Amino acid sequence: MVSVITSAAAISAVHSLREIDTRFVSSSKRIESGYRVADASDDASIFAVAQGVRAQVKSSAAVSSSLTQGQNTVQVALAGLRQIYDLTNDIRANIILLADGATAESARTIIKNNTLTLLEQIDSARNTSRYNGFSQLEANAQARSFLSDTKGTSITVGTFNAQTELDDLSTAVNNITDSASALTALDAARAFERQVNVTLADFAATGRSLSESHSFVDSLTDALKKGVGALVDTDVAEAMAVRQSAIVQRGLSVASLDFTNGANRRIVNILR
């Protein structure tokens, strides 16, 4: 039926043009945003899943930050402990000289004063080995915990619990007057050195735990990011091909609509 009131061909052409425009807008949005699913209107189910994974990524990033803080805390503490260990070795060497009966009396005073200076440097190393305002080596230091996973599990960085041994060493050095008292100080130096070694081992083990946890969390975060990308990222090549196709189809559809309208115009001309 040929009609100038209702044109089935024109309606079909307009409908086709609308579908083509929808594909063009959709593909353009994907190219411009970089997302195949940018919001819930694109795909509510996938968007909801992606949002959940993004929340996991943010949580993992927070854990990674906490672990970084823990690693830095341990590294600073270990640097201070190594300095203390070296100073303790020097102190022990000086005390051995003080215990040696062949050491001249004039030299004893110099060596003792040097030893006391080394003890002061140990205190300085403890106080200056700070990260983010905290030192794990101070006398009043407190253990600090750092998150190692999103469930709230934590790794605790301990403290340098050697105040008693250090006080005993300082007292023993101050009391050195002869070889016998020097040997007492040597025992105190060895006790303090043992405690330094124990703490070094503890901090090193904690550092390894933090590093391993950090490596796992970073790998997990990368996997989650890839998962989100697979869900929502645009395949740019595909989207560009769809848009280019829509441009061609739009031109053909407009031409078809123009042809249909032209047929109606011809009918009107005949009626005239």
Please state whether 177 falls in left (phi above 0), alpha (psi between -120 and 50) or beta. alpha
Structure confidence at residue 242 (pLDDT): 64
The string of pLDDT tens digits covering residues 12-53 is 666 676 776 666 666 666 666 667 777 787 778 888 888 898
pLDDT score for 237: 67
**74 pLDDT tier (thresholds 50, 70, 90):** very high
Residues 35 and 46: their CA atoms lie apart, in Å, by: 12
**Residue-wise pLDDT tens digits, 78-126:** 999 999 999 999 999 999 999 887 777 778 889 999 999 999 999 999 9
For residue 186, give both structure tokens.
């040597």
Q: C-alpha distances in angstroms, 29 versus 35, 233, 242?
A: 8, 12, 12
The pLDDT tens digits for 127-143 are 999 999 999 999 889 99
Q: What is the CATH class of 44-231?
A: mainly alpha
**At 178, is the secondary structure helix, strand, or coil?**
coil
Q: What is the pLDDT of residue 108?
A: 85
Kindly report, residue by residue over 204-245, the tens digit of the pLDDT: 999 999 999 999 999 999 999 888 888 776 766 666 766 667
Q: Which residues contact 186 (CB under 8 A, 6 or more apart)?
A: 92, 95, 96, 99
pLDDT of 109: 87
